[in-house]
Chain A
C-alpha cells in the first residue's frame, strides 16, 4: 500500500509539473487595456529557429514598434499542424483577439474552422489559398530571390555543378528550383543542378549529410530549401560556397555565405494591424516580393563576391522591382520539350501557384 501511494504522489507531482511547463511554454501574454486591439500569432516552431518562425517573430516585433500602444500582441509557439491547432487558434479568438495570424501552410483548414465560429475576429493565413469573409491569405514571392542567387551561382561555380537540398515536392519548392535554374543557366549554359529531397523541413543531421553528399559529388555551391543552417555550415567546413535560407545566416558560415533570401513580414503585419485599428480591414489575397519589400536579399558577402557581380545582383533586384525582369520569362520549355511560356510572355500567377514540373535542362523527375 505504501508503495502504491508513493507512486500516486510521484504521478501527481509529474502531472502538476508537466502542467506548469505546458502553460508557461504557451507564452500567453496578458493584455493591458481595453482600447487596444489585440493581435495574435500562431507559430509552427520556436522563435529561436533562426529561420521561418524567427522571421515571423521579427515581423511581430516590428508591428509592435510601429503601432505602439494602439495594439498588444500575443503569440503561441510550437503549435503542431493538426487538430491541436484548432484549440490554440480558438484560445486566441476566445480571449478577445481582434486579428490572428496563422503562420504555416497546414493551419489552413483549422484557421477556416475557427474563423467560421468567430465572424467578428479577423484571420490572416500565411501561404494558403482558402479565404473567407474574415480570412485573408498572404505569401511572399520567395522565387524572386532565387532568381538573384541563381544568377550569382551560375557565375560563381567552377565545377558547373550546384547542389540543391529540398524538403517536400510542393509548388513553392519546385517554383524555387525552376527560378534558380532558369537564372543560373542563362548566365552559364553548362550549369547542372543535383537535387536531393530530404523529406523534412527540419533535420540538421540529414541536411548536413545531403550537403556533404552533394559536395562529394563535385558541387561547389550549396543551395537549400530546408530550415536549418546545417548545409551552410557543411559548406563552410568543406570550403565551398552556399546561400542562407529565410534569414541572414552569415554568422554561422562567414566564409561560405554569399547572401540569403530573407522573408520580411513586418510592414505587412503593421499595415494589416493598422487596418484593423482603423476599421478598414477586408479579406484579400496578398502575394508580394521585392517590390513591396516582403522579400529582401541579405547583404552580399564582399569577401566572396566581386563588386561587379554584386552590382549585377542588385541590378536584377531592381529589375524585378520595377517590372523589367521577371523570374519566369518566355520562352520556357518543360522537360518534355513543350513550350509552356511563349516568347515575350511571362508565367502568370496561376501557373506559378500550381507549378509541379521541372523546366527543360533539369535532370530527374519531380517526385510524386
Chain B
C-alpha cells in the first residue's frame, strides 16, 4: 500500500464519518440531561432540505447554514415542549418526530430534487466536528453548567431541590441536540453528497443514536466509536475493490450489533453506573413530585 492510497482512505473516512460525529455529540448532551430523542433522522432530513432549498434560492452558504440551524431549533423546540411541558412519552414522541421529519422534508424538497448545486468544502466541518467533541467533553466535565446538565440527568429531583431549573436545562440540551442534527443534515446535503433527494440520510440518524450508547455517553469515546464505525465501512469497501470477498450485509449491521452488546452489558446496574449512563434517561420529570 502506498502512502497516497492510505492518505486517500483516511480522507474518505473523515468525510463520511463527520455527520455521525455531529448528530452523535448533540444526542450525547441531550441524553446526559436525561432526555432520549429518537428524532435524529427526521431532524437531519429537515436540516438537510432547509439548507439545500435556501442555497438554491439565495446562493448564499451563510443563509442556508443559518436557516438549517433555525429548522433544528424549531423542530427540537416542539419536541422539547411535548416531552417536557406536556410530558408525552419520549420514545413515542421521538419516533413521531422522525416520521414527521421524513414526510416534511420530502414535501418541502419535492420541487428541488435534482437541482444541481456547488458543494461546500467538507474540511471546515470536519475541523469543527473535532473541536466540538473537545468542547463538549470540557463542558461536561470541567464547567459548572456541564455539571448541572449531568446532575439533571442523574437525578432531576435532587437537582431541583438544589435549586437548578430542570426544565430549562433540558430545553437547552434538546435544542443543542437539534442544532447538531440539523448541522449533520446540512453537511450531508451540501458537502458530503451535494444534492437533495428524499430520505438521503439513509439511516445515519439511527447509527448516531446507537453510537451514543456504544460510546457509553463519553464524548471522546463517541469520536473513537464514530471513526471505528466509519472506518470499518470504508475499509470493507477498499477490501472489496481489492478483490477480497466480504459479507457486506454483515458490515452494514455491525454498528447495531456492537450497540446491542453494549446494551446487554449495561443492563446490569453496577456496570451501568460504571459506564456513566444517566440514571434519569427517558424518565419524565414532574415539578411537584
Contact = CB atoms under 8 A, between A and B. Distances in A.
Interface centre among B8, B12, B237 (most CB of A within 10 A): B237
Contacts of A207: 193
A6 B88 CA distance: 11
A233 interface: yes
B78 to A, nearest CB: 10
A14 interface: yes
Interface string B71-103: 000000000001000111000000010001001
A195 B9 CA distance: 17
Contacts of B5: 216-217
Nearest to B198: A46
Given A10-B82, A233-B193, A3 B87 contact: yes
Contacts of B188: 205
Contact of A214 (B233, B241, B243, B249): B241
Nearest to A219: B241
A216 B8 contact: yes
A216 B195 contact: no
A6 B86 contact: yes
Contacts of B12: 209, 212-213, 216
Given A48-B113, A49-B198, A194 B193 contact: no
Given A205-B202, A251-B116, A197 B193 contact: no
A367 B245 contact: yes
Contacts of A214: 241
A209 B16 contact: yes
B86 A228 contact: no
B176 interface: no
B237 A210 contact: yes
A291 B116 CA distance: 33
B192 interface: yes
B60 interface: no
Interface in B1-35: 5, 8-9, 11-12, 15-16, 19
A7 B86 contact: yes
B194 interface: yes
B88 A7 contact: yes
B156 interface: no
A210 B194 CA distance: 15
A203 interface: yes
A364 interface: yes
Contacts of A105: none
A163 interface: yes
Contacts of A196: 237, 240-241
B218 interface: no
**Category for how many chain A residues contact B:** 35 or more
Contact of B103 (A21, A205, A210): A21
B106 A195 contact: no
A267 interface: no
A49 B86 CA distance: 39
A204 B193 contact: yes
B113 A163 contact: no
Nearest to A214: B241
B163 interface: no
B135 interface: no
A205 B247 contact: no
A203 to B, nearest CB: 4
B113 A205 contact: no
A213 B241 contact: yes
A141 interface: no
Contacts of B124: none
A85 B199 CA distance: 19
A364 B248 CA distance: 13
A194 B197 contact: no
Contacts of B242: 194, 217
B168 interface: no
Nearest to B8: A216
Nearest to B238: A213
A10 B86 CA distance: 9
24 contacts: A7-B87, A14-B96, A21-B107, A46-B198, A48-B197, A49-B114, A78-B198, A194-B242, A196-B237, A196-B240, A196-B241, A197-B240, A199-B252, A200-B202, A202-B202, A204-B193, A204-B195, A204-B202, A205-B16, A208-B193, A213-B9, A230-B193, A364-B240, A367-B248
Given A199-B249, A204-B193, 20 more contacts: A7-B87, A18-B103, A25-B107, A49-B113, A49-B114, A196-B240, A202-B199, A203-B200, A205-B193, A206-B202, A207-B193, A209-B12, A209-B233, A210-B237, A213-B9, A213-B241, A214-B241, A216-B11, A229-B195, A252-B116
Sorted nearest first, the 9 A-B pairs with minimum C-beta distance are A216-B8, A48-B113, A204-B193, A203-B202, A50-B114, A194-B241, A363-B243, A230-B193, A213-B237
Interface of A: 3, 6-7, 10, 14, 18, 21, 25, 45-46, 48-50, 54, 78, 163, 194-200, 202-210, 212-214, 216-217, 228-230, 233, 237, 251-252, 363-365, 367
